[in-house]
Structure formats: C-alpha cells, structure tokens
Amino acid sequence: MSTSIETPPTPARRGFAGLFVRAVHLVKRHAAELIRFAGVGGVAYVIDIGLFNLMFLGLDWSYWYAKIISAVIAMTVAFFGNRHWTWRERRGSAAAHRQYALYFFFNGIGLLIALACLWANSGLAQIWPQYFDTDLAVNIAANIVGVGLGSVFRFFAYRTWVFRHTPELVEVRAG
C-alpha cells in the first residue's frame, strides 16, 4: 500500500489564497458602504458620460475640455451624495470645506487617471487609427477604463482621508 505524502502549499499559492480571502473579507465588511458608493457613483457616472458626449459629440468640443468639465460637474454631485448618504455617519464636526478640498484633490488625481487613459488612447491612435481614432475608442478610454481605474482609487482615498471615521471619545472616570 503506497501512501502519498501531501506537500504543503507553495508560498505563492498560500499568498494568492490568503489575498483572495482577505479581499472577500474586505468586500463583506464594507458591502453596505460599497453599495452606497456605487449608487452615488452611478448617478455621477451618468452625468459625466452624458455631459461628456453632449460636449464632445453634440457640441464638437475637444475631448480634453469635455472630460474636464463633465468630470468636475459629476464630482460636485458625487461629493454631496457621498457626504450626505454614503458616509453620512462620518460627517461629524469636520468642516465641510476641508472635506470638499480633500475630495476635489483626490478627484483631481482621479481625473488625471482618466486623462492619462485619453492620452494613451491618442498615442495608440497614431499607430492604429482604425481602432483608436474613433469616438467609441475615446469614450471607452475616458469613461470606462479611466473612470473605472479612477473609481477604485477614489473609493479608498475618500474613506481613508476625506470621510474619515472619527474616533469615539472614551469617557474617562475621575478616580
């Protein structure tokens, strides 16, 4: 009778499995927050895409200007939605102007991510114009890839620095 000796999982497998388990745990722990964030983001996304295409396709504006203006308007809508719904319990006594400044700072980085995707698309359009020099390719670069990558960044930036959890004050008893 031969017995097989099981080999322990390799560090790479243990690392991947551990990473997956941690990711699932994070999603479960923050599910309600993620759902509210996605709802607010969905409304802002519709505004962003609608305004972008109105200016870019309807009014024949440069896609750079169209993206910047549509993103700033969508950011403003999302700020109020996130402040008053997604992280309403985190408003505390923090000044709204501080949150607004941080919010727009991190949204600026998110916008730069979307603009970097537009820049990459314009570079690829020089090589393969039949694929990348189209209105559809510009929309995919700006509104799917750019907004998608920017949204992942913004979620963690907002919850970490903008709408921080205020520590509960511990009541100290006088001895």
Over the stretch 85-131, which tens digit does the pLDDT of each residue have?
877 766 555 567 787 888 889 989 999 999 999 999 999 999 999 99
Structure-model confidence comparison of residues 172 and 49, the more confident one: 49
Counting the structural domains of the chain, the total is 1
Task: Give the integer Cα–Cα distance in Å for 35 and 53.
Answer: 26
| 22 belongs to a structural domain | no
| 2 belongs to a structural domain | no
pLDDT in tens, 131-155: 999 999 999 999 999 989 998 898 8
What is the per-residue pLDDT for 20?
80
pTM listed for this prediction: 0.68
| 20 belongs to a structural domain | no
Question: Which residue range(s) make up the domain with 82?
Answer: 32-162
What is the per-residue pLDDT for 170?
46
**Which structure tokens are listed for 83?**
């402040």
| 12 belongs to a structural domain | no
Task: Give the integer Cα–Cα distance in Å for 131 and 123.
Answer: 12
Residues 6+ apart with CB under 8 A from 35: none
Task: Give the integer Cα–Cα distance in Å for 111 and 52.
Answer: 13
| 111 belongs to a structural domain | yes
